[in-house]
Chains A and B, each alone.
Chain A
Amino acid sequence: MTLEVDVARAAAGANVVLLAALIRVWAGSYRQIRSTQTLGTLLFAVLLLAENLLALFYYVTAVSLPVAAFRSMMYLQLLETAALAFLTYVTYQ
């Protein structure tokens, strides 16, 4: 069980780092180009960041969940990390 917890925490932590990098670019975009497009993208990233911070909080405090539930959450978190990694790569082109 502790492996799943560690992996989930690491994935959520990685998501926070990737989203911070994305927000850095998208905040700059919004500052230069004011539009619903750039604002929407920025807000999307900020909300996703809030989601991952909340997940991290749960992974740190609520580890008495059943193993199966935790494993599912871990996989979801890992998928999100993969998605964000790809998006960060594309955004930094």
Chain B
Amino acid sequence: MEAVLWQVLAGTRGGPNRARLLHALDRRPRNANQLAEEVELSYNTVRHHLDVLEENDLITSSGSDYGEVYLPSDRVRHHWDTVEAIVEQLDGVES
């Protein structure tokens, strides 16, 4: 999980934005639309990032309809200190 975390959040082109999204979901679980408004990215971009985060088991979703709500997975919570170490260096993230 550690290697996956580093790659998905820090070693790829969209990594830092995915870290911001994960951090936002930790503060408050929400759906793709709400996230797009919060982090000021397009819906499609957020959609892509959420798919990558979900594929890599960093987030899970509750509900399967249009407005499904995302939140951090249990697995990523066990490694939350790594997530914090990455997120605290990013601009535009409130702690």
Q: Which residues of A contact B (CB under 8 A)?
A: 25-26, 28-29, 32-35, 37-38, 41, 90-93
Contacts and interface: CB of A to CB of B under 8 A. Distances in A.
B29 to A, nearest CB: 24
Interface string B64-95: 00000000000000000000011001110000
Question: Main SS of the interface on chain A?
Answer: helix
A16 to B, nearest CB: 19
A32 B11 contact: no
B15 to A, nearest CB: 6
Contacts of A38: 6, 10-11
Given A33-B10, A41-B11, A93 B52 contact: yes
Nearest to B86: A33
B11 A91 contact: yes
B13 A33 contact: no
A12 to B, nearest CB: 24
B89 A93 contact: no
